[in-house]
Structure 1
Amino acid sequence: MKTDGTKLAGLESWERLPLGSPQVAYGWLQYRVARMIYFENERDAPPVEQQPRVGLTSWRIFELADDTKRILTCLPTGIARITTRIVGINPKIRIAVTSSGRVYEFLAAPEMDPTNYSALVLNAVRVGVGPATDISDDVWALFQSHEH
């Protein structure tokens, strides 16, 4: 994923929704576009056997219309990923397990940088994730409530 700082003509007046708002994520159309974001080298995640656990520093969790929850992440390598549905969360050790069997460990608070947040949402739109609600702040609050 790369950004080049180019503005899209005619979109400068659109306002960005507040991060963490419970509004439907497809309010992304209301985001002010400050950069062009390119997605390159599209490919599936490696098999779970090759990558059973992933540490997350740039992430958000969205709840889809069918009540499934998915993690949107950008890995340190620059790879944007949308997980299979979350089947379990352990707030004490800050992990989620997805239907693929992969374990995701939350190493940092949800992504708040506007450019990175937009990239996560735009990647979800790009691959056809339907309307969804960002529940990341609620999940992070759950994790924090289990700290010692």
Structure 2
Amino acid sequence: MNAEVERALGEPLVVGVDGSEPSLRAVDWAADEAVLRGVPLRVVYACLWERYEGAALARDIGKSTALPLAQDVAGAAAQRAGARHPDLKVTADVVFEEPEYALVREGRNASALVVGTRGRSGIAEMLLGSVSLAVAAHADCPVIVLRGSHDNQATPPVRG
């Protein structure tokens, strides 16, 4: 086994989240994949603001009126992964930086990066979002851009 493959085997799988439904599907897929690979999962929410501006996570964190903090977004995504696989080691972090740069940097110490197709912007569903496109183009590790299934849900692995 070469040194690069050995190094990647022990490094976490990193999933970028932004609180959107596509990023939550990416969390589900990444949790499943981390279990299959036998590596920890690292949830990263990169943004320039302390408060989250969307409502997708309101039901998960129990805040319907107040704007959640960035830590709430990362924490809710990590809890989602932990609920899906209770024995999976999951960590969460918030990076106050542009997501494209933060995730590419995170990829330097990751076995792979997972992102959703698009985040909270109004880009058409068939197009890759600007963050996923930039990460896929510049990361030093494999990048998985998850589109989701037709029923808008992440599906568990069928064949392992």
Whether TM-score is above 0.5 comes out as no
Q: What TM-score does the superposition give when structure 2 sets the normalisation length?
A: 0.25
Between Structure 1 and Structure 2, the one with more strand by share is 1
